[in-house]
Structure 1
Amino acid sequence: MTVEAELRGVRVRYGLLEALHGVDLACPAGRVTVLLGRNGAGRTTALHTLAGVVRPAAGRVLWAGRDVTALSAFRRARRGLALVPADRAVFPSLTVAENLGQHAGEDTAAVEEWFPELRSLMTRRAGTLSGGQQQMVALGRALLGRPRLLLLDEPDRGLAPAVAARLHRLLLESAADGGTVVLAAQSLPATLAGAGVVHVLRRGRVVFSGEPGELLSGPIGG
């Protein structure tokens, strides 16, 4: 199995606090990778390190076989990486259509198919939407770009169960089409049983790596 993105011996510090303690973490190409763990386990820090938002104090970040540890988040994005953070990643003063890139000629029809809940909201300012609606806008924008590497921090947040299941199906289809998806979650839903690999983080360390079938669904201890 080809590895698309990888952390090797990564340590991340915030002041005196070390959030990742020499983490080794591999994300297979063309598959969905799930990072499991409770808040504070290191999932978000791992995603942000892959994205270039956080620079490791030690260790390396590899992407497509290249060392990108020193590469900025902007340059990683230009090369096909997209990050959807846990906080609502929309421009509140812009309309839904503008957030989706319609002003730049982007065709939003696919997003309306993925998330029909947004169909009647295209002219609304994103800042007036509910949390779940804003999440769909952020996810739709990321998926429209067809990134080579898509990083998602708790993408289910605020979504109804049926919408979350639809999202998981979209992510698995995106991976089947050649993209690589890495997402953080607190538990493994049955609708992501087709993921390629699961890494469980606890207190800044990887304590389990394996296939979804090897792991019981449910909250992961911190």
Structure 2
Amino acid sequence: MTVEAALYGVRVRYGPLEALHGVDLEFPAGAVTVLLGRNGSGRTSALHALAGLVRPAAGRVIWQGRDVTALGAHQRVRRGMALVPAERAVFASLTVAEHLGLGGATSGEALDLFPELSALLPRPAGTLSGGQQQLVAVARALTCGPRLLLLDEPDRGLAPAVTARLHAHLLATAAAEGRTVVLTAQSLPRGLAGAAVVHVLHRGEVGFSGEPSELSTRPAGAW
């Protein structure tokens, strides 16, 4: 399986605290990878290292076969990477329609997938609920057609039916369009049982890497 992106020996520190302890993580091309772990496990730090929001204290970030450790976040965005953080992912003063049209994108795909947004198009994003803001942020990222899409707990605040639709769409577009998706969750969502790889992080270290079916056979507390 071709590797789209990877972290090799990556350490991430915030002052005296180390969030990632030299982790090795590979993310297959054209597939969905799920990063699992509890709060504080290092999931978000791994995404931020991939996105260029934090500079590793050690190790390398590889993307498309290149060492991009020294590239800034804006440079990675220009090359086709998109990150949807778990919080504060929208511009409060812009309307939903403006979010979906940023960069010349069209809102058709987003509204087909999330018709719930149609009634919200004229509203400023700052007036929406947390779940609605999350939906806008995810929809906006999808309209950009990124090569590598990073999602930090994208189902936070979403209705179960919307979450199921999103997961099905991510799996389908990864397979059909060659899009690579990395998302975080505290437990493996049922709708992502078809993901290619699951990595489990525990206290900044990798406790498990494998297929979802392998994860289900491991005893609780095995990492």
TM-score in terms of structure 1 length: 0.96
**Is contact 1:49-1:55 (8 Å) kept?**
yes
Question: Root-mean-square deviation (CA), in Å?
Answer: 1.4
Separation in 1, partners of 2:88, 2:186: 18
Residue ranges of structure 1 left out of the alignment (5+ in a row):
none
Which residue is equivalent to 2:95?
A: 95
Structure 2 equivalent of residue 166 of structure 1: 165
Unaligned runs of 5+ in 2: none
Partner in structure 1 of residue 6 of structure 2 = 6
Taking the aligned partners of 2:74 and 2:101, their CA distance within structure 1 comes to 18
Q: Is the 8 A contact 1:88 1:138 kept in 2?
A: no
User: d(CA) in 1 for partners of 2:8 and 2:49?
Assistant: 11
C-alpha offsets along residues 140-176 of structure 1, whole Å, 9 cap, x if unaligned?
1000011000000000000011110001011112211
What pairs with 1:1-222 in structure 2 (closer than 5 Å)? 1-101=1-101, 105-176=104-175, 177-216=177-216
CA drift of 1:100 comes to 1.1
Provide the rounded CA distance (Å) in 1 between the counterparts of 2:105 and 2:169. 19
TM-score, normalisation: structure 2: 0.95
Tell me the alpha carbon deviations over residues 186-222 of structure 1, each in whole angstroms, 9 at most, x when there is no partner.
00011101101000000000010000111129xx868
Q: Output the CA distance in 2 between the equivalents of 1:68 and 1:179.
A: 19
**Deviations 1:14-67 (CA, angstroms, capped at 9, x unpaired):** 111111001000000000000000000000000000000010000000001100
**Counterpart secondary structure, 1:40:** coil
Q: How far apart, in 2, do the equivalents of 1:105 and 1:55 lie?
A: 30
Tell me the matched-pair count: 219
Distance 2:189 2:93 in 1: 34
1: CA distance between counterparts of 2:156 and 2:19? 23
Q: Give the drift of 1:110.
A: 1.1
Aligned-residue offset at 1:105: 4.0
Letter in 1 for 2:144: G
**In the aligned structure 2, how far is the partner of 1:191 from the partner of 1:137?**
21
d(CA) in 2 for partners of 1:61, 1:69: 5
**Is the CA contact 2:105–2:144 (under 8 Å) kept in the aligned structure 1?**
no
Mapped partners of 2:17, 2:104: distance in 1: 45
Q: 3-state DSSP class of the match of 1:112?
A: helix
For the residues of structure 2 that align with 1:127 and 1:94, how far apart are their CA atoms? 8
Q: Secondary structure of 2:171's match?
A: helix
CA–CA distance in structure 2, aligned partners of residues 30 and 107 of structure 1: 23
Q: Aligned partners of 1:113 and 1:126: how far apart in 2?
A: 19
Contact 1:88 1:131 in 2 (8 A): no
